[in-house]
Structure 1
């Protein structure tokens, strides 16, 4: 256990040990001291670097179990992200006498009111619902000492900034404000500094690791993209892939084509019902389905463990969107692969983005039932020198049907 974790309450130390963590990430090491000193902070750190732990543990450590009122409020732009934060908080407050409540839009209001009657000490919610409960005098904020705004850039872009400001306005002046995101642009940083009191700005790059993310592209005519995706899925063993499209308009068409070819998948769209989203995410996390077809809106902030591949079926708009999508794999230093299915005209954009990110870009091809990753000169990479297997020719476990040669 690291020395910094020793400074936390015993219940957090126990949960840390139970989680199997052995060391802190860069953002956790940098953020803990300032957060524990109650300073206002703006945190920028890439996806998969442990931000929830970075802001969550210091906030939970300061809760007084004897005070039966909300003391920490975590705000998130989506229901799924709010529920993930809530699960982490529950995990790290086990056997502490500290309780929490999730207050998210779209959920049953009466059930949330019943939760508040139990006097939870931490709240995780979406800005609109938390604001509504404060205005209706159902959630008291006079004991709140810390407010964390996660995915702050998305909150600003989605127009939730006003709701957040009203939540902050309901607290006393000596509370701590923490703004967090994978990428914070000038507009979000200015908004954060307007609300906070001379905040520290803490930024961390993603740690490099021998188990890094491999960025690849696969040339494909637009009309052939879905079929090439099918081949990639079939010929990549034990794949667990998130496939991104740009909007929900073509989701059904893409899904139908893949399902017709016997590809098991789940669809996560922005207009999916709460029950459908929960079912699809649960099935994907548990490995019941190997592919999740989705949009950026539907997955913003989601932390799904052990995603092996991110596939850009349709190219993102810019490098920022590319980073957010690609960050769904290779989380916490694990191995992952990003595949951009691109036309010749689209290839220049991917090359420009990866150059800006200073990451190598390799070519991926399908040949005789094998997935091959080659360099720009189409020469196969040496699998030993590359540090990982570049040839994958074992059929995935989820599809045991025999295929004829035309299926390759």
Structure 2
């Protein structure tokens, strides 16, 4: 029997997708059967619904207890998860509250007094409220760690483990992420009961978009100006990543002075500032949204044409998470990296697992074109470029998911 047939009628009516995603087929029955789970599945492959649906089946909205906790590393991801829950709980007794840093704590305490069925929050704020005995952890029977590799990383690990230890003795735990390292897997297994290991690869996903991986060689001092130029390219909608907040703020100041249609997203912003940045990006007022990894984790923005690595990622996991923002819902996309001379070796390592060599591009006459500065000069002069463009070919990585919404 399919897990869809096990759904209660009010939830079955809300299932409007043509087909289930692989992670949903594997994870939903396992959660309904009471298993602890460590699940790895590509970005945009339907992980959110893979735990939202079984949680709604497992909790009792009439119990007046908080029975489930979902944690995520960023405020934006928490808000997205809450939106999905609210869409699916409409017309039911199940209630949902978000507990995120940067929001009014007293207001959250008042909401907890009403005993919401499910809470979704960032680990720091959840720990504060649990430590103050405002969130009754002993009632919680289900915990999900979304972007579990970050939540079980060194920054959040102690708080997360303490919260799990304070939950009900029969609490079931699910850890989900696009990348699960051996270290994270071992950490997770220490507080889980014989966890089921699930893994979905990009090749298993239906209707995948074609993602071109490309790079442009640029000096560090010229990166801001290149972002400014790209922000004026018609039809481009890019999510750009930078490695640290200080550099982000410097670039923001220069770009705003130049009236470039860009916005920024970082952990130091309050809830309203974040919302304004995201709203501007979603409605098209802003063409490029520049973010740090923490701020952009889990963001689900439809219609992205580009992911831009202003700074080359430090690890393959970073490259995977960032790049997975584009090429969703069967649409094509491009992952463009700004590569300065010191980063060339790192970039080659990060992209060596791709099915082909990344495409080199250059800025020429108001747009990015394939080639190098040598090939452009040769084309302009009418002379052959020699070996300048030798070995360049498109590298297309199949990614994405079926359907136009986060699932």
TM-score by length of 2: 0.85
Q: Which of 279, 284, 306 matches 1:287?
A: 284
Match of 1:213 in 2: 211
For residues 220-241 of structure 1, what are the alpha-carbon distances to aligned partners after superposition, in whole Å with 9 as ceiling and x for unaligned?
A: 2333222233333323x32211
- The question of whether the paired residues in 2 share the 8 Å contact of 1:364 and 1:371 is answered with yes
> In the TM superposition, what are the counterparts of 1:33-112 in structure 2 within 5 Å?
33-112=29-108
- The question of whether the paired residues in 2 share the 8 Å contact of 1:220 and 1:342 is answered with yes
C-alpha deviation, 1:58, in angstroms: 0.9
For residues 119-144 of structure 1, what are the alpha-carbon distances to aligned partners after superposition, in whole Å with 9 as ceiling and x for unaligned?
A: 21111112232233333332234443
Distance 1:378 1:258, change over 3 A: farther
CA distance in structure 2 between the aligned counterparts of 1:281 and 1:267, rounded to whole angstroms: 9
SS of the equivalent of 1:16 reads coil
Q: Mean alpha-carbon deviation: is it higher for 92-101 or for 7-16?
A: 7-16
Q: Mean alpha-carbon deviation: is it higher for 67-76 or for 191-200?
A: 67-76
C-alpha deviation, 1:250, in angstroms: 2.1
Gap runs ≥5 in structure 1: 387-408
TM-score by length of 1: 0.85
CA distance in structure 1 between the aligned counterparts of 2:259 and 2:21, rounded to whole angstroms: 40
Gap runs ≥5 in structure 2: 373-386, 397-407
CA distance in structure 2 between the aligned counterparts of 1:223 and 1:49, rounded to whole angstroms: 37
CA distance in structure 2 between the aligned counterparts of 1:215 and 1:7, rounded to whole angstroms: 41
Distance 1:62 1:263, change over 3 A: same
Compare relative contact order (CA 8 Å, sep 6+) and give the higher one, 1 or 2: 2
- The question of whether the paired residues in 2 share the 8 Å contact of 1:267 and 1:292 is answered with yes
Distance 1:333 1:81, change over 3 A: same
Q: Which of 171, 183, 188 matches 1:187?
A: 183
Query: 2:280 aligned with 1:312, yes or no?
Result: no
Match of 2:171 in 1: 175
CA distance in structure 1 between the aligned counterparts of 2:163 and 2:140, rounded to whole angstroms: 11
Match of 2:338 in 1: 341
Match of 1:138 in 2: 134
> In the TM superposition, what are the counterparts of 1:4-403 in structure 2 within 5 Å?
4-17=3-16, 21-207=17-203, 209=207, 211-235=209-233, 237-358=234-355, 360-373=357-370, 378=389
CA distance in structure 2 between the aligned counterparts of 1:83 and 1:106, rounded to whole angstroms: 12
Q: Mean alpha-carbon deviation: is it higher for 329-338 or for 37-46?
A: 329-338
CA distance in structure 1 between the aligned counterparts of 2:45 and 2:190, rounded to whole angstroms: 27
What RMSD, in angstroms, separates the aligned Cα atoms of the two structures? 2.7
CA distance in structure 2 between the aligned counterparts of 1:6 and 1:287, rounded to whole angstroms: 40
Distance 1:230 1:378, change over 3 A: farther
CA distance in structure 1 between the aligned counterparts of 2:124 and 2:366, rounded to whole angstroms: 50
- Aligned pair count? 380
For residues 233-263 of structure 1, what are the alpha-carbon distances to aligned partners after superposition, in whole Å with 9 as ceiling and x for unaligned?
A: 323x322111112212222332233334432
CA distance in structure 2 between the aligned counterparts of 1:344 and 1:59, rounded to whole angstroms: 49
CA distance in structure 1 between the aligned counterparts of 2:115 and 2:267, rounded to whole angstroms: 32
SS of the equivalent of 2:15 reads helix
- The question of whether the paired residues in 2 share the 8 Å contact of 1:244 and 1:295 is answered with yes
For residues 249-288 of structure 1, what are the alpha-carbon distances to aligned partners after superposition, in whole Å with 9 as ceiling and x for unaligned?
A: 2223322333344321111122222321122122212222
